[in-house]
Structure 1
């Protein structure tokens, strides 16, 4: 079977891996990320979006970066070398926490995560919460939290292969099966891409269009999970290995630089839960090993950095006691990095205890929470993080929600130990987050408007020094404020026609010691998905406003349109997915031209 899958990945027969699912999903969904206690997104104290497996399938997204770029309020920035990072509410990539089944997975060295390395094939859902999440999850959750969920409960086998321009080839499979108390999930992906698309090369005279060189990439991922259940118990063990090699192309250059990068990660995590008459216990842990190699033949650099990240947690939720539902837990974590450009002793140990509650009186619910973190190395720091949320049902389907919370971000290993320039005496970034909004549901329509303000002090900024290198300092204060508006629609128009649509508008402004760099002040996204009998069609459009490059210069805004057509016959789904249909020439960063118009062929085989 593995040989067949590998051959499919290299043949011009494309497939998108996902479930051909009924697009009618009961609204509203349930979130566990917003409060650690399962609660409806309508009753949650902060804005929460749940992208289920149907949404992943409809978007034809192969990576988490593409999924969030199309379907969420987050701003995802792409680089020509393949790197993709996110920004939430005007923050940096290290100010949004990314979780895998509730465990943090960002590199302790860089403090951020390359979302292009995360395939959607192994995901069952993605939860996005907007607003400070530090009271529940600790450092880095200043702008919000993205929780990637891998659990699946149904028997399913999906296989796909895909082809596109510039030698794009992708093959993947996903299988889940349950036998009595034992259930298992296996998923894998192989992706290859030469990436020699044309762009305007300004290094030539006169400037002319030429193919991008040295931007190839090869990705491999394998995921497995085993779950054992009893009426009151569940135990799950999961493992995920991914390996990526890619070139870093030279843009606006007459000769390729030959720069290359290798990323390798192994993650193993477990989850245990047990129910008693008085409540429930959930515990788990994760260990992650990462290696990043960078090579530049021109400068003779060939360095490899290695990171280790481990965490354990235990959480107890009590059954409701009159108007209150109480919970709390403890955490411990360890991080370490080894790199030729890092000082010795770059190790971090952290411990935390937290408590949270939901109090309900008629139409009103309050969400108080308190967290105490303690960092033992390299510098003793003990931040205290309080939070208070409220949700009030004004009418049957209209809710008012709001939150006030503290948040913090610890300096990364690069901030503290990089040679030259690292500063071990950096203070953590600290701030407060406030948001308030309305959410309304009516006959499959969900409308939500949220206004927010994030205040941050001791922001860490890298600045040039008189010695000729850059160094981080606690020099900046920033206040990001804005408005998020979203509309989601899901309904069966007729007995044979189903539709799902969404729209989101994000407006961000900043008062700070520096300007809002490379983050749009305005971003608008929308999508429409229709299914009639055996045919399905989707279209997604986005307008990204001007990006601040310097304090006086901005890039041009750009408008993108993507679309796809699919035909479903039994277990077979055949379609075509088009990206950048209007052939826009755009950049997320200066000298980072993105691909022109392209189309991918998609073939999916799904068996229940």
Structure 2
């Protein structure tokens, strides 16, 4: 009955919309990201920036954002931490669709190849009203782009580096006035057998490989009526590092399929974006790589989502976002059998720009979720421009994370009575501009209630409970300089983050939350020669809940040079960890010391 109600509701919305308004030539499928960027702190990393850290999404985010990345050795399991929150409190969004695992409630960054995307967006702060469960600390947006009227463009990129590492991508794009086609095939692999002799560490059994096939198609029936389809097929294998040759070698395999079909319609005062999506995640863990799988599972999500925007006056609009999901899974070796879940949501947003200087919006969301009570969510934000030199934005929101299938049904230990995590947060950004300089300062505060924590109840059984309350607060700053003169172009960016995340039960800093973090990125281009430097500092990080053990602070320096020998041919060379630092992002697992990579890019 619930499925039929939602189906009729979406059909009714579509029937209200006719086609009269022109589309722009380049658009994100995630049409909400541009709207939230008006008041939220966001970062966009385009294809050129992605190629500077093409090895993994972990490297890209570690060196080009404020996010702390935990990685169990290079290429192994990796997860992000926004503003002192956990990996489960980060939403991964693929073309506007939340793709967090329905088993774990999070995403493994090293199972998301950055070469599959033309843009990686980062949104800081809560976004559950639009992006759903997990969008507490922030969200990472993996975007594909639809182009029209661009003709044919082909790109080949290949990189070879230390430890038998290779990263390659082949992309072909074609578009005319009404049709757009985008094909992307990429592959990454590495023996990953690096050593840290000073610590007698060898990354044994650390090899990995992944392949991704991405296809996007769009067609305009007329200037205001567009169909699109984006799909992704991903296959990967990760071996988990061992510390001694005598240990049993293990591995983890993942196969992912994502398909998204959409229909955009426009009229003079209304816009509608209707999406149908199917997501499938299949994973297997092998406790011994020479034997059959030990555990695994397959998760399937069927999603209907509609985004209706109505301009009610010259300066104001209502935006209704409705979504229905049907989730089902099948576990192996975990006690999880065949859980199923129906859920739906209604989000209503009102946006108003009363003048060129003042913009504000209000949002509210209610979820209807089978088997547990979901919270009422809200958001409020505003932006005020004093002049060209200063803007201030304010964001207040309530966000949540829903219990996952592992939280609810893992046997023994799962608890079907778990409540969702909720958070209340506030942030205020101050943005200054002077000539070629821009400065942003963002203090924030977040209070998280009913955080889900797995506790050991017997020597062999762990169980989740809603017990923790956490206060996270801090300051994010960003200073950039961008200038072109003659054949020269300089872009530099300095960011610093101070993060306190306190477990209110024991009054201690949360694990794996560095107090201090800083990034410096400098890009210089002269004629056909380009040069870049990346510096990342990470402060002391506690690895236990009692602040008795910590990882030492470290500073990592990367640099690279590119030569555009023609409009179709580019060579590059990169040195990672130039100063040969010894460092860890997770206890026991060391990261590589100095290593090298050379790359070739062809455009045709």
Residue 37 of structure 1: how far off its partner (Å): 7.6
Distance 1:301 1:185 in 2: 36
Aligned ranges 1:75-114 → 2 under 5 Å: 75-80=68-73, 82-114=76-108
| 2:29 is the alignment partner of 1:36 | no
Distance 1:120 1:460 in 2: 30
Aligned ranges 1:46-61 → 2 under 5 Å: 46-57=40-51, 59-61=52-54
The normalised TM-score by structure 1 is: 0.89
Kept in 2, the 8 Å contact 1:30–1:40? The answer is no
| 2:537 is the alignment partner of 1:546 | no
Distance 1:353 1:261 in 2: 37
Tell me the residue number matched to 1:11: none
Kept in 2, the 8 Å contact 1:285–1:312? The answer is yes
Q: Name which of 479, 482, 499 aligns with 2:471.
A: 479
| 2:58 is the alignment partner of 1:65 | yes
Kept in 2, the 8 Å contact 1:30–1:38? The answer is no
Tell me the residue number matched to 2:573: 576
Q: Name which of 595, 598, 602 aligns with 1:598.
A: 595
Kept in 2, the 8 Å contact 1:31–1:48? The answer is no
**Structure 2 vs 1, CA of residues 563 and 152 (structure 1 numbering), >3 Å: closer, same or farther?**
farther
**Structure 2 vs 1, CA of residues 511 and 258 (structure 1 numbering), >3 Å: closer, same or farther?**
closer
Kept in 2, the 8 Å contact 1:221–1:240? The answer is yes
1:231-272 deviation per Cα after TM superposition (whole angstroms, max 9, x unaligned):
102211111111111211202x24242101111111111222
Distance 1:345 1:289 in 2: 15
Residue 442 of structure 1: how far off its partner (Å): 3.3
Residue 31 of structure 1: how far off its partner (Å): 9.4
Tell me the residue number matched to 1:503: 494
Tell me the residue number matched to 2:114: 120
Aligned ranges 1:15-414 → 2 under 5 Å: 36=32, 38-39=34-35, 41=37, 44-57=38-51, 59-80=52-73, 82-153=76-147, 154=150, 155-200=152-197, 209=200, 211-229=202-220, 230-251=222-243, 253-297=244-288, 302-340=294-332, 341-362=334-355, 363-376=357-370, 379-414=371-406
Q: Name which of 437, 449, 452 aligns with 2:444.
A: 452
> Secondary structure of 2:115's partner?
helix
> Secondary structure of 1:424's partner?
coil
**Structure 2 vs 1, CA of residues 480 and 331 (structure 1 numbering), >3 Å: closer, same or farther?**
same
> Secondary structure of 1:109's partner?
coil
Distance 2:233 2:578 in 1: 34
Kept in 2, the 8 Å contact 1:288–1:310? The answer is yes
Residue 32 of structure 1: how far off its partner (Å): 9.5
| 2:483 is the alignment partner of 1:491 | yes
Kept in 1, the 8 Å contact 2:501–2:510? The answer is yes
Residue 595 of structure 1: how far off its partner (Å): 1.1
CA RMSD of aligned residues (A): 2.1
Residue 592 of structure 1: how far off its partner (Å): 0.6
> Secondary structure of 1:361's partner?
coil
**Structure 2 vs 1, CA of residues 491 and 170 (structure 1 numbering), >3 Å: closer, same or farther?**
same
| 2:538 is the alignment partner of 1:533 | no
**Structure 2 vs 1, CA of residues 245 and 37 (structure 1 numbering), >3 Å: closer, same or farther?**
closer
Distance 1:186 1:392 in 2: 42
Aligned ranges 1:504-519 → 2 under 5 Å: 504-512=495-503, 513=505, 515-519=509-513
Distance 1:437 1:429 in 2: 26
> Secondary structure of 1:416's partner?
helix
Aligned ranges 1:413-424 → 2 under 5 Å: 413-424=405-416
1:416-466 deviation per Cα after TM superposition (whole angstroms, max 9, x unaligned):
111221111111111201101211233343211101011011111111113
**Structure 2 vs 1, CA of residues 192 and 137 (structure 1 numbering), >3 Å: closer, same or farther?**
closer
Corresponding residue pairs, total:
565
Tell me the residue number matched to 1:16: none
Residue 38 of structure 1: how far off its partner (Å): 4.0
Kept in 2, the 8 Å contact 1:160–1:605? The answer is yes
> Secondary structure of 2:88's partner?
helix
Distance 2:227 2:518 in 1: 42
Residue 331 of structure 1: how far off its partner (Å): 0.5
> Secondary structure of 1:135's partner?
helix
Residue 467 of structure 1: how far off its partner (Å): 5.5
Report the more deviating stretch, 104-113 or 155-164: 155-164
Kept in 1, the 8 Å contact 2:116–2:186? The answer is no
Distance 1:334 1:317 in 2: 25
**Structure 2 vs 1, CA of residues 212 and 344 (structure 1 numbering), >3 Å: closer, same or farther?**
closer
**Structure 2 vs 1, CA of residues 446 and 335 (structure 1 numbering), >3 Å: closer, same or farther?**
farther
> Secondary structure of 2:416's partner?
coil
Tell me the residue number matched to 1:425: 417
Distance 1:335 1:370 in 2: 24
Distance 2:433 2:218 in 1: 35
Residue 190 of structure 1: how far off its partner (Å): 1.7
**Structure 2 vs 1, CA of residues 503 and 137 (structure 1 numbering), >3 Å: closer, same or farther?**
same
**Structure 2 vs 1, CA of residues 528 and 517 (structure 1 numbering), >3 Å: closer, same or farther?**
same
**Structure 2 vs 1, CA of residues 62 and 606 (structure 1 numbering), >3 Å: closer, same or farther?**
farther
Distance 2:197 2:454 in 1: 31
| 2:524 is the alignment partner of 1:524 | no
Structure 1 unaligned spans of 5+: 1-28, 202-207
Tell me the residue number matched to 1:3: none
Aligned ranges 1:555-574 → 2 under 5 Å: 555-570=551-566, 571-574=568-571
Kept in 2, the 8 Å contact 1:31–1:39? The answer is no
Aligned ranges 1:437-448 → 2 under 5 Å: 437-448=429-440
Distance 1:549 1:52 in 2: 34
Structure 2 unaligned spans of 5+: 1-25
